[in-house]
Structure 1
Amino acid sequence: MKQVQASMAGTVWKVLVAVGDQVEIGQDVIILESMKMEIPVQAEAAGQVKTIKVEEGSYVGDGEVMIELE
């Protein structure tokens, strides 16, 4: 299973995909907010979104799995 992990600790500002969506390598899938900056998180692999493990407004730690792809 492929995963999208948080590149840094922060708050999930926006989830840009839904379960069932097809994503490509390099596609923005989540926007994190950290230190008043918006940081896009990109998919490092192509696949279909199987699970979204975070919600907008939730806090994530560095390296935390946010999305699972199949």
Structure 2
Amino acid sequence: MAAAFGLVFRTSVCHVGDLVPLGGSARGFLFIGPAARADGPDEEGSAMAEEIRAEMVANVMSVSVTAGDRVGDGDALVLLESMKMEIPVLSEVSGTVAQVGVQAGDVVQEGDLIATVE
């Protein structure tokens, strides 16, 4: 429990990838995504790589990028299909695609590597 401005808040620790139930009048879940970070080299001077992984079992309908392509934050990398829904997989950072781990027609499992962006 935490208190601020005369209000009491119930708090808990969440991890990246957790689905957190919304309480009170809100219905549904909140997905806890990766923390935002600045693009660029880390302390050792090498570029940080962002691994984009599948969040569910799905069919790969199309792949929009190849290794070496420049992408921006929010650019579509891959289009997945699951339960008759099309799900675009978006880059969460700007950078260069270092690796594409899927091709059209593949079936991905939860946690499979889709692409790496540096």
**Structures share fold, TM-score greater than 0.5:** yes
Match of 2:66 in 1: 18
Distance of 2:108 and 2:61 partners within structure 1 = 11
Match of 1:4 in 2: 52
Q: Taking every aligned residue pair, what percent have the same amino acid on both sides?
A: 39
TM-score when normalising by structure 2: 0.56
Which sections of structure 1, spanning at least 5 residues, go unmatched?
none
Match of 2:111 in 1: 63
Match of 2:90 in 1: 42
Decide which structure has greater strand share: 1
Which structure has more relative contact order (CA 8 Å, sep 6+)? It is 1
Distance of 2:100 and 2:78 partners within structure 1 = 10
After superposing on structure 2, the runs of 4+ consecutive aligned residues of structure 1 that deviate more than 2 Å are none
Greater radius of gyration (CA): 2
Distance of 1:57 and 1:13 partners within structure 2 = 6
Q: How many residues align?
A: 70
Which sections of structure 2, spanning at least 5 residues, go unmatched?
1-48
